Structure 1
Amino acid sequence: MIPPDTHLQIGSLLFEGLDQIDLTGPFEVLSRVPNSTYRVYAPSLDPVRDVRGLRILPDATLAEAPRLDVLHVPGGQGQEALMRDAAVLGWIRDQAAGAGHVLSVCTGALLLGAAGLLVGRRATTYWNAVHLLPFFGAEPVDERVVIDRDADGRTWVFAAGVTAGIDGALRLAAALRGDEAAQAIQLGMQYAPEPPFDSGTPRTAPPAIVAQARAAAADLTARREATARAIAAERGIRPPEPASVTR
């Protein structure tokens, strides 16, 4: 836990085509962390649209961001367009080097991988992309939230798809300000999910529903895998075939 009198700079990456819950779910948590400043940063000040068309405005540009204590990288379909974006990946790499805590949600983990930050780490991501993590040198773990720590104390929190970002952010809030602070945030959000169906993972959803979801995302999944394979080849990473997932 960080001393409560230490002010924290918390920042989230914003980009076109992200999944807004990857951003706004953790926002509900991180914006409530005591003694902190939370801002959203994007390549420009132009509004962006999430994958479903919701317009979101950044607070400042990437170049205007201070040295962050907490870096949050969301995901979504727009992630694929940034996998070769040197400016964005460089910003992620630079901010992660100085931050004490890094949170990725969904395919934000693939952006960390493209920035070269996943080698040797245990990580998770969206269920239809978790098999790609070994192409970036990571060990995929089939859990909703995975925490990995460096020897110097830097904490990496990886949340699986979309709504898992809330869980990951609460775990992060506890690491920053203690369990009681995180519990107060959870109560303030009234976060006590009771889903009407047990269909939130491929293991529990009906097989026909899983097949439909995979088919709908087949083109994007293929593009993501082609990008991941190319990056792995450039870096001399040889992932297992097929990629294994730790449970």
Structure 2
Amino acid sequence: MNFGIVIFDQAEELDFVGPWEMVTMWSRFADGPEECLLVAEKPGPVTCAKGMSVNPHTTFAECPPLDYLLVPGGEGTRREVSNPEMLSFVSTQAQSARAVLSVCTGSFVLHAASLLSGKRATTHWRSLDRLRALGDVDVLEQRYVQDGTVWSSAGVSAGTDMVLAFIAEVAGEAAAGKVQFGAEYYPSTRKYGGFEEHAKAPAYVRSS
């Protein structure tokens, strides 16, 4: 069993590093995937949104079939939704994958790869209206959304919550508990600055 995470220039770092941490904790403590692969279109370093430089393990052309695939978001998705190599890779892998996941604006890549039409999904709060404007996605203002084998999350840190919930779904509560405990992932509920009252705050922030 393997888990692949696509990376590309201007991907948001925490969109994939948070999920990476959850998946590799799953592997270490709860019999999770044998491999967690960072996959890029080409070999060589990928420069992310905040300047982190990451070396992929493999390329689109050399990547084995994946059991699970995650697509992060970031400014780079505005380019990747028109990148035929990216869309071909995602759609081809999705044909045999057990599940496909997106974080933040990675949802737009899933849509461009014909994986999100007619499904429930979410994205970063700044892009909710843009996702609605596509016209064929049931957009929910939730931290993360599951619709069959397609999962999506809100922005940046939300991907960590989504992947932990995903682990609970596919491997059980005990496995997710081991991951959560190993990672000490018990997020504070404290809110700062009153931004939960912001006009653009998603429903799950306003109501929590």
TM exceeds 0.5? yes
Equivalence for 1:176:
170
Unpaired runs of 5+ residues, structure 2, are 202-206
Equivalence for 1:105:
103
Cα gap change, 1:187/1:65 in structure 2, threshold over 3 Å: closer, same or farther?
A: same
Q: TM-score, normalised by structure 2?
A: 0.88
Indicate which of 189, 197, 200 corresponds to 2:191: 197
In structure 2, distance between residues paired with 1:198 and 1:130 = 22
In structure 2, distance between residues paired with 1:179 and 1:94 = 31
Q: Which amino acid aligns with 1:193?
A: P
Give runs of ≥4 in structure 1 deviating > 3 Å. none
Q: TM-score, normalised by structure 1?
A: 0.75
Tell me, yes or no, if the aligned pair for 1:199 and 1:205 is still in contact at 8 Å. Answer: no
Equivalence for 1:160:
154
**Aligned-residue offset at 1:133:** 2.1
2:47 is the alignment partner of 1:54: no
Cα gap change, 1:143/1:69 in structure 2, threshold over 3 Å: closer, same or farther?
A: same
Supply the RMSD in Å over aligned alpha carbons.
1.9
Equivalence for 1:87:
85
In structure 2, distance between residues paired with 1:136 and 1:31 = 36
2:15 is the alignment partner of 1:22: yes
Find the structure with the greater CA-based Rg. Answer: 1
Q: Which amino acid aligns with 2:108?
A: L
Identity of aligned residues (%): 34
Tell me, yes or no, if the aligned pair for 1:118 and 1:136 is still in contact at 8 Å. Answer: no
Q: Secondary structure at the match of 1:104?
A: strand
Equivalence for 2:138:
139
Equivalence for 2:182:
188
In structure 2, distance between residues paired with 1:55 and 1:136 = 36
Tell me, yes or no, if the aligned pair for 2:87 and 2:112 is still in contact at 8 Å. Answer: yes
Cα gap change, 1:170/1:107 in structure 2, threshold over 3 Å: closer, same or farther?
A: same
Q: Secondary structure at the match of 2:66?
A: coil
Aligned length: 196
